[in-house]
Structures are given as structure tokens and as C-alpha cells.
Amino acid sequence: MLKDVTIGQYYPTGSVIHKLDPRTKILFTTAFVVMLFFLNNLWGYLATFVILATITLLSKIPVGYIIRGIKGLVLIIMLTVVLNLFMTPGTVVATLGPLTVTLEGLKVATYMALRLIFLVVGTSIMTLTTSPIDLTDGMEWCMRYIPFVRRYAHELAMMMSIALRFIPTLMEETERIMKAQKARGANFETGNIISRAKNLIPILIPLFISAFRRADELATAMEARCYRGGENRTRMKQLAFEFRDGASLVLMFVMIVGLYLTTWIQIPLLFPV
């Protein structure tokens, strides 16, 4: 399951999506995530699926690689579906002992599952098609226009970029520690929840130590190279909007408006609004 984490990884293919300015992809992803929380019917989620499928094909990233990122969230998605399915009051459609399934619960559970899946896929595509350096520069540019944040835009962008960059590294480190503990007789797959939580202690302690050691080594390396962020920092590659970025922003605006218009559709596809 640890190998299924795709957020923070970069998958170069040379596609038209990869060539877009990072600021364009950040703006689109932000607007896309915000728009997900306004969708209220399956027409909107169907349109979202078409948009994500089109972007995935244009990015030339294997579909199986995208699905890997969803597999790591299966447990969270199932928990969300179960909670909404049995805890939402409304018109009862089925009874399972003391639990009741309502039409409203079925609708909310479906929407929440689709929202989580699309959220992970959308953000994963941005990180898979953007190198860490470009992502840092793009986030720094965007945060310069946010009040109360612009003063620390560079530091915040660098921290977020480093965090994304080290997600795959920490996953590999966790898997290595788990294999080492299993070789010493540790068991992480049997027992109740409390015993499994206790078995994670031999993993968490060396993982934290390794993470702090990597952070210290990174800080030392940056200081040894006289790294200084801020206004006077120069970049080898300057960000510049091109024609394809302008066209993409216009297309992005059209898609976001189209998704918003789906919230006004009153024709039920599966569940009545």
C-alpha cells in the first residue's frame, strides 16, 4: 500500500500538460478543488470525470499509475461511505438489523466518495506533471498576492515543496523499516486495533529519527551552498506565460463555469436533488 502513494512524485512524459506554466496548473487545481465542494448532483460529477479523464489522456500518464494513488485511500473512502450511509436521516430504503439505509444517506455517501476520489486524482495530476522546482516557483508567485502571506511566500513555498518531495522518500523509508521489523519477527497484520497500534511503535520511532536526520542533513547542505531565499534570489528558469497558458486559462474558466452550471440542473440522473 505504501507504494501506491503518488502525491509528490513527478512523472515526466513531455506532454502538453507538462509544458504548461506551473502557475496555470496551480490556479486550475485550486479552482477545481473549490468547485468540487459546490457540486450537488451526479451530472456535475459526471462532467468532472470527463474533465479529469481528458486531462489524464493529454498528460500521457498511465491510468494505472493514477489509480495507484486511489488505492491508498480505499480505507478512508469506505469509512466515509459507511458513516454517511448509516448516519444520515431520511427516507428508509433498507434495514440491516439496528442500522437503516436511507435514500439521502446513499446519495451523500456516493457524493462524498466521488469527491474524495476526484480530489486525490486532481491534485496528483498537478504534482505528477510539475517538477518540484517549478512547483515551488509557481506557489511562491501565487502566494505573493495573498494578504498576510506574501511576506513569507518564499519560505512557505519552499517548505510545501520539500514536504511534497519527501513524501515518496518517507514511504520508502517506512517500507524498509517494516521489512526490517518483520525479519525480526514483528507482526503487523494480526490482532485487534490496540495490538496493531502497539506494533507500530517500532516503526514510528526509527521513522521519526530518520526524518529528523534527513531534515538536518538538508539544512546543512543548504547552508553549505550559501542558500539564501527572498527577494534577491535569482532563478535559472524564469516563469513566463505563453499562448498555451492563456488558452488553458480561458478553457479552465469555461470548464469551471460549466461545472457551476451543473449545480442548477434539476434532471435527476440517479438520485433526486
pLDDT digit string, tens, across residues 135-151: 888 888 888 888 777 77
Shared domain for 251 and 224, answered yes or no, is no
Task: Identify the residue with better confidence: 272 or 205.
Answer: 205
Q: Which three cell numbers stand for residue 190?
A: 494480526
Specify if 94 maps to a domain.
yes
In percent, the amount of the chain with pLDDT more than 70 equals: 88
Specify if 112 maps to a domain.
yes
Specify if 149 maps to a domain.
no
Euclidean distance between CA atoms 7 and 9, whole angstroms: 6
Report which DSSP code applies to 93.
E
> Is the pLDDT confidence value at 190 over 80?
no
Specify if 143 maps to a domain.
no
pLDDT band at 49 (very low <50, low <70, confident <90, very high): very high
CA distances from 260 to 32, 35, 66, 245 (A): 11, 7, 25, 22
Q: Which three cell numbers stand for residue 261?
A: 452550471
Shared domain for 11 and 125, answered yes or no, is yes
Shared domain for 228 and 249, answered yes or no, is no
Shared domain for 5 and 116, answered yes or no, is yes
What length does the chain have?
273
Shared domain for 29 and 96, answered yes or no, is yes
Euclidean distance between CA atoms 251 and 265, whole angstroms: 21
Shared domain for 123 and 160, answered yes or no, is no
pLDDT at 172: 81
Which has the closest alpha carbon to 48: 61, 39, 57? 39
Report which DSSP code applies to 4.
G
Mean pLDDT for all residues in the chain: 81
Parent domain of 264:
1-130+241-273
Domain count for the chain: 2
pLDDT at 272: 46
Shared domain for 231 and 245, answered yes or no, is no
Which has the closest alpha carbon to 181: 157, 159, 205? 205
Specify if 148 maps to a domain.
no
Euclidean distance between CA atoms 68 and 171, whole angstroms: 14
- The model's pTM is 0.76
Shared domain for 265 and 194, answered yes or no, is no
> Is the pLDDT confidence value at 123 over 70?
yes
Shared domain for 26 and 99, answered yes or no, is yes
- Of the candidate ranges 97-101, 130-134, 244-248, the one whose mean pLDDT is the lowest: 97-101
> Is the pLDDT confidence value at 76 over 60?
yes
DSSP 3-state of 134: helix
Query: Do 60 and 15 form a contact (C-beta atoms < 8 A)?
Result: yes
Shared domain for 173 and 261, answered yes or no, is no
pLDDT at 48: 92
Shared domain for 118 and 94, answered yes or no, is yes
> Is the pLDDT confidence value at 273 over 50?
no
Shared domain for 179 and 217, answered yes or no, is yes
**Mean local confidence (pLDDT), 171-199:** 75
